Amino acid sequence: MGMVITGLGRSAKLAQGIAKAGGWKLVNAIESQFPDGEDYIRFKGSLRGADLVVVNTLYPPNDELMACLIAADAARSLGARRLVLVAPYLAYMRQDKRFQPGEAISSRTIAGLISEKFDRLITVDPHLHRYKSLGEIYSIPARVLHADVPVADWIRKRLRNPVLVGPDRESRQWVSKVAKLCDAPFTVMQKKRFTSTHVRSSGLDAKTVRGRDVVVLDDIISSGHTMAGVLQQAAELGAASITGIGVHGLFARGAKLMLTATGARIVTCNAVPGPTARIDLAPTIAEALKKESHDAP
């Protein structure tokens, strides 16, 4: 039957884009909840013999993860030959060690559940901090895609005189790649974290940003405190314009308001859907799936 695409949760639109980009059949999934909150999922189309690609960003994590596990079991029982999970945002990557006695290392727990239900995993710029690769916790082939090309394309088409800023040393590798792709200079700041919401980045100077279109890049925008601080500094130092770009726009409560209060334009990828998700990852994911289909037995 070949490759078939389905989308769950808020990722239905992204699934449609991937199916269109790759020329694949799209099978819709009906989702609802019983009165007690339990998930209900029904596929509207045959899956027998199919290589089924389940597109579902894992945010909010608990709801979307449960939907993935239920959908995977249903697809197997309906005759799907192979199951690929495309989770553009891969949740449960924060707790990657036991920081306090008695803590669960949830990244390993969730990796085990996904590895049990799916044959392959594809994700975009996961939060790899203490793990060198997803292979350390996933027992299935796990492919990491990067948003650097679509992000660089967005910058190149819309900003005339950009300078890219990474909020901390961890962002250097990614920011430098995007800067090279859009032929722009970049700088990386130093970040000191006091609490989960109290952070301070330093190292930005007026020579770097005055009169330029400043773009602050980060992989995840959650509380927004890190990015808001850097955007505010850039504005005070005379930037011509300020833009914050994140691959994954999670936006904890109050984050959007705090970020827009800086006067910045906030843009994210559609790894997580929302009003800021203006950078399309469908072509990038479709290209990876074409390679997966060629490699499949």
Q: Average pLDDT of each block of 10 consecutive residues along the chain (297 residues)?
A: 94 98 97 96 96 97 97 98 98 92 95 98 92 95 97 97 91 93 93 58 84 96 92 95 97 94 97 97 97 67
Nearest C-alpha neighbor of 72 from the set 89, 86, 88, 93: 86
DSSP 183: T
Range 213-237 burial, b when 16+ CB lie within 10 A, else e = bbbbbbbbbbbbbbbbbbbbbbbeb
**pLDDT score recorded for residue 193:** 61
Tokens encoding 204: 């930005």
Residue 162's domain comprises 148-279
- The reply to whether 30 and 89 lie within a common domain is yes
- The reply to whether 176 and 230 lie within a common domain is yes
- The reply to whether 26 and 157 lie within a common domain is no
Tokens encoding 157: 């088409």
Nearest C-alpha neighbor of 137 from the set 96, 189, 103: 96
Tokens encoding 84: 């690929």
- The reply to whether 219 and 98 lie within a common domain is no
- The reply to whether 243 and 232 lie within a common domain is yes
- Residue 51, classed as helix, strand or coil, is strand
